[in-house]
Structure 1
Amino acid sequence: MTTLDHVLVVDVESTCREGSPPPGEVSEIIEIGVCPLEVGSGRRGERRSVLVRPARPSVSPFCTRLTTLTQADVDGGIPFAEACALLRKEFRSDRRVWASYGDYDRRMFERQCADFGVKYPFGPRHINVKTLFALVHALPREIGMAEAVRLTGQELDGTHHRGHDDAFTIAGLLRK
């Protein structure tokens, strides 16, 4: 049964490279940013960052420039399976509607759960804030999060491309 008291806003950061990755290397989640959004009041809860230790790829210099995360940061993270269990236990992610800006985050979780045989941490209800934003504002196309923030007169809160800060910002867009 889905609980409708909060929407769990999620933003992931993943390993990335400038250009093509080495053969056999696929992108993996290295940070899960979470910000609960209280439905009744529109109040954003505390932003949370869960660092995830990748099993295969390393954090490239390009990835560090984009996210500020280093290999040492994620080496101190927890395995992906533990991160998914944490989402279920601490945020009841399997019983709440969850949201992300676009489908990338949802697809990353689906693929990585399948790759590692990990139970998917979310329930069946997902809100694509990127599509919803374009529809609500009658835009001719979907736009990036930074552009959506500018369009609404808000500012990016924290460091762009850090999961916890982006989740907090996305929660602000969703509550509007």
Structure 2
Amino acid sequence: MEIIEIGAVMLNRTTWEIDSEFQQFIQPVRHPQLTGFCTELTSIQQQDVDEAPKFLEAISRFQEWIYSFPNHIFCSWGNYDKKQFIQDCAFHNFPYPFSSEHINIKEEFSEYLGVSKKFGMAQALNQLEIELKGTHHRGIDDARNIASIYRQIKKCYSI
């Protein structure tokens, strides 16, 4: 496995609305041919990654974007994305671009509901009666949907 798309959003900590977005396909080098399963799951086509920059260029662009927000915190649904970034950065000898702080929104959502069950992102949206927008498992669409969940959690905590 390797990262083939970075999709990220930056939320405003006052309104919890999206202030900025980042999306970048990445040309895989360990497994350059996408599998049918991957294409079906993500809708990412071989041409998308063939024409994309390799990891070092893509992560450098991403790092420049995230560092333009001085108080950023890396959040993801579960720990998979964090582990994959650590693995890919190590493989490419690139320093991990995030601080040690990481918010696992999957865990925060369970705490918000007061349950031990861990929900998938689509299940969490359904639980909140929020429509899943875009294509599930596409980086940028998942980032937007996760932001909708986090916004709901933060707005409830601030009431």
Note whether the superposition's TM-score is higher than 0.5: yes
Given that 2:11 and 2:20 are in contact with CA atoms closer than 8 Å, whether structure 1 keeps it comes out as no
Amino acid at match of 2:97: P
Aligned partner of 2:143 in structure 1 is 167
For residues 94-143 of structure 1, the C-alpha deviation after alignment (integer angstroms, 9 at most, x for no partner) is: 95211000000000000111111112121221100000100111123111
Amino acid at match of 1:43: E
| 1:158 aligned onto 2:143 | no
Amino acid at match of 2:106: K
Q: Name the count of aligned residue pairs.
A: 150
| d(CA) in 2 for partners of 1:164, 1:112 | 19
Structure 1, unpaired ranges of 5+:
1-26
Q: TM-score, normalised by structure 2?
A: 0.89
Task: Compute the RMSD of aligned alpha carbons.
Answer: 1.5
| d(CA) in 2 for partners of 1:94, 1:114 | 24
Paired residues for 1:54-69 under 5 Å? 54-57=28-31, 58-69=33-44
Amino acid at match of 2:37: F
Aligned partner of 2:63 in structure 1 is 88
- The answer to which structure has the higher helix fraction is 2
| d(CA) in 1 for partners of 2:57, 2:45 | 20
- Structure 1 runs of 4+ aligned residues shifted over 3 Å read none
CA 148–32 in structure 1, closer or farther in 2 if over 3 Å, else same: same
| 1:71 aligned onto 2:14 | no
Structure 2, unpaired ranges of 5+:
153-159
For residues 53-77 of structure 1, the C-alpha deviation after alignment (integer angstroms, 9 at most, x for no partner) is: 1111021111111101111110111
Aligned partner of 2:90 in structure 1 is 114
- The answer to which structure has the higher strand fraction is 1
Aligned partner of 1:15 in structure 2 is none
Paired residues for 1:1-176 under 5 Å? 27-57=1-31, 58-92=33-67, 95=70, 96-176=72-152
SS at match of 1:136: helix
